[in-house]
């Protein structure tokens, strides 16, 4: 009974504070909304003064600053940051950003934060208690928005770096060696999954179409540990596609366990030339080209 | 009879044709009929079909090419398809296009070589 009584006023007071902050929040957002033009033009002026906007056109500045201003206001009003997150993520990807560096954008947002703070101070300076309360509402929002922006840029940069690295690695993992005129070789070492098989197909076909002459491609898979159905099918398709383009592909160095897997999986290798070693593959290619290697006396 | 819209040239015992426009269904059928007609008229023993200008192939067109090959081999001719683009080659394989009855070569020159090799046999 006693507990219930002591709890009641606490609940009431928190509700009361909530209503108060809600009211104050509304007041603040209306205030910032009414003075939007003034604050925004001051913001642009200050950014231009620091040379942050040199790479943007006037229409871009107008559009972007308006969107950023409205987004910040929306976060303050609704307390939901989804819009800001979406906007910043899209901004981090967009080409507009190529014209501005990350530190320029963060500097721009910091300037906006300072202008808001100054504006709030000027408006409420006659009433320090209210000023403090307004700051209590405004500051977390500003912090959160800056946090979101920074995180989005870091995430974007990380994903870009990762993507580039993957592309590089993919390119390195399918090297094409010119062995002889009309003979190319592609040694595959490591794990051969369907993504890598696709890469192999693409680079081989691209090479053959670029060469404009008949080629014999030797795919040496002596260095791979295992193969699955999808990958095997991909390689078979590549062999057929290369045949359609008027060239030929042979496979060398199929290891016993890989051969067993292929047979167990029921993959039909008939019509595909296979040789046990790279050397025999090369001999086959020379044979086809009517070349003969002899010792000089 | 309609005039053939895709030129089919004759050189010796060989017909050479290279469509430079997209072969939509109606045109493909007409093209097939024109080729077969020309084979009958000229008694050609071989046909080189240069498809290097074709970047889109659908299953219908593939079937037409297959039919050209089948029909001309019945009439004693051989078909060599040359200049397939990598993306088209891959699409054909994925569609399950069988290589039976059709020879392939990198370009026109090699295609003619292939025909001469077949004739010599």
The residues spanned by each domain of chain A are 2-169, 177-288
Please provide the distance, in angstroms rounded to a whole number, between the alpha carbons at the two ends of chain B. Answer: 37
Task: Closest CB to B82: pick one of A201, A209, A246.
Answer: A246
pLDDT band with cut points at 50, 70 and 90 for residue A10: very low
Mean pLDDT (whole number) for A273-283: 91
Please give the backbone phi and psi of residue A90, each rounded to the nearest 5 degrees, phi first: -70, -35
Query: Which burial class, exposed, middle or buried, applies to A147 when counting CB atoms under 10 A from its CB (0-12, 13-18, 19+)?
Result: exposed
Minimal-distance CA residue of chain B relative to A216:
B106
Measured CA distances, A240 to A15, B49, B92 (Å): 74, 19, 9
Which residue(s) pair with A220 in the sheet?
A187, A252
DSSP B43: T
- For the beta carbon of residue B78, count every other beta carbon within 10 angstroms: 20
Structure pTM?
0.59
In a mutagenesis test of the B interface, which of A184, A211, A246 is the best target, namely the one with the most B β-carbons within 10 Å?
A246
Residue B15 in contact with residue B48, Cβ under 8 Å?
A: yes
| Fold of domain A2-169 | Globin-like (1.10.490)
Specify the range with the lowest mean pLDDT, choosing from A8-22, A89-103, A146-160, B106-120: A8-22
Task: Name the class of domain B8-120.
Answer: alpha beta
Mean pLDDT (whole number) for A228-246: 87
Global ipTM:
0.75
More confident residue, A34 or A185: A185
pLDDT band with cut points at 50, 70 and 90 for residue A251: very high
The residues spanned by each domain of chain B are 8-120
Q: So what's the pLDDT on residue A9?
A: 45
Mean pLDDT (whole number) for A79-89: 79
From chain A, the residues in CB contact with B50 under 8 A are: none
> Biggest alpha carbon distance in chain B?
37
Angle A296-A286-A213 (CA atoms, 0-180°, nearest 5)? 125
CB contact under 8 Å between A241 and B92, yes or no, is yes
pLDDT tens per residue, range B10-34: 888 899 999 888 888 888 888 888 8
CATH 3.30.750.24 fits A177-288, yes or no: yes
From chain B, the residues in CB contact with A197 under 8 A are: none
Minimal-distance CA residue of chain B relative to A244:
B104
Q: So what's the pLDDT on residue A17?
A: 55
CB contact under 8 Å between B90 and A246, yes or no, is no
Q: So what's the pLDDT on residue B77?
A: 84
pLDDT tens per residue, range B35-70: 888 888 888 888 999 988 888 888 888 888 888 888
Mean pLDDT (whole number) for A135-156: 84
From chain A, the residues in CB contact with B85 under 8 A are: 209, 245
CB contact under 8 Å between B89 and A205, yes or no, is yes
Q: So what's the pLDDT on residue A18?
A: 63
Q: What percent of chain B has pLDDT over 90?
A: 5
pLDDT tens per residue, range A165-220: 887 777 777 788 898 988 999 998 888 888 888 888 888 888 888 887 889 999 99
Please provide the distance, in angstroms rounded to a whole number, between the alpha carbons at the two ends of chain A. Answer: 114
CB contact under 8 Å between B86 and A246, yes or no, is no
CA distance A190 to chain B (A): 25
Q: So what's the pLDDT on residue A52?
A: 77
pLDDT score of B98 more than 90: no
Q: So what's the pLDDT on residue B4?
A: 52
Task: Closest CB to A245: pick one of B89, B94, B97.
Answer: B89
Residue A250 in contact with residue A277, Cβ under 8 Å?
A: no
Per-residue b/e over B86-104, b at no fewer than 16 CB within 10 Å? bbbbbbbbeeebeeeebbb
pLDDT tens per residue, range B86-97: 888 888 888 877
């Amino acid at each position: 009974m006693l507990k219930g009584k002591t709890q009641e006023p606490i609940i009431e007071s928190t509700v009361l504070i909530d209503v108060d902050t809600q009211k104050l929040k509304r007041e603040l957002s209306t205030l910032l909304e009414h003075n939007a033009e003034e604050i925004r033009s001051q913001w642009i002026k200050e950014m231009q003064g620091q040379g942050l906007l040199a790479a943007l056109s006037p229409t871009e500045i107008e559009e972007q600053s308006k969107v950023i201003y409205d987004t910040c206001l929306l976060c303050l009003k609704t307390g939901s940051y989804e819009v800001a997150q979406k906007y910043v993520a899209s901004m981090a990807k967009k080409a507009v950003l190529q014209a501005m560096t990350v530190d320029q954008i963060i500097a721009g947002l910091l300037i906006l934060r300072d202008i808001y703070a100054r504006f709030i101070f000027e408006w409420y300076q006659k009433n320090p208690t209210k000023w403090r309360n307004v700051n209590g509402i405004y500051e977390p929002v500003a912090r959160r928005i800056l946090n979101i922006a920074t995180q989005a840029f870091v995430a974007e940069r990380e994903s870009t770096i990762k993507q580039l690295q993957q592309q590089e690695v993919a390119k390195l993992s399918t090297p094409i060696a010119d062995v002889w005129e009309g003979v190319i070789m592609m040694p595959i070492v490591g794990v051969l999954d369907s993504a890598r098989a696709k890469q192999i197909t693409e680079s081989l076909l691209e090479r053959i179409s670029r060469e404009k002459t008949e080629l014999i491609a030797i795919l040496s898979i002596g260095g791979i540990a295992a193969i699955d159905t999808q990958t095997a099918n991909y390689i078979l398709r590549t062999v057929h596609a290369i045949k359609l383009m008027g060239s030929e592909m042979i496979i060398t160095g199929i290891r016993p366990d890989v051969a067993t897997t292929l047979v167990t999986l029921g993959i039909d290798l008939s019509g595909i030339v296979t040789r046990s070693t790279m050397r025999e593959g090369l001999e086959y290619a020379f044979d086809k080209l009517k070349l003969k290697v002899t010792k000089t006396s | 009879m309609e005039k053939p819209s895709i030129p089919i040239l004759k050189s010796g015992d060989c017909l050479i044709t290279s469509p430079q426009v997209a072969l939509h269904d109606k045109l493909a059928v007409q093209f097939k009929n024109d080729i077969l007609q020309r084979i009958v008229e000229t008694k050609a023993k071989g046909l080189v079909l240069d498809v290097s200008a074709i970047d889109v192939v659908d299953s219908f067109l593939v079937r037409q090419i297959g039919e050209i090959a089948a029909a001309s081999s019945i009439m004693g001719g051989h078909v060599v398809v040359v200049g397939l683009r990598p993306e088209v080659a891959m699409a054909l394989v994925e569609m399950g296009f069988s290589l039976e009855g059709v020879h392939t070569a990198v370009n026109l020159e090699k295609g003619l070589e292939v025909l001469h090799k077949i004739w010599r046999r």
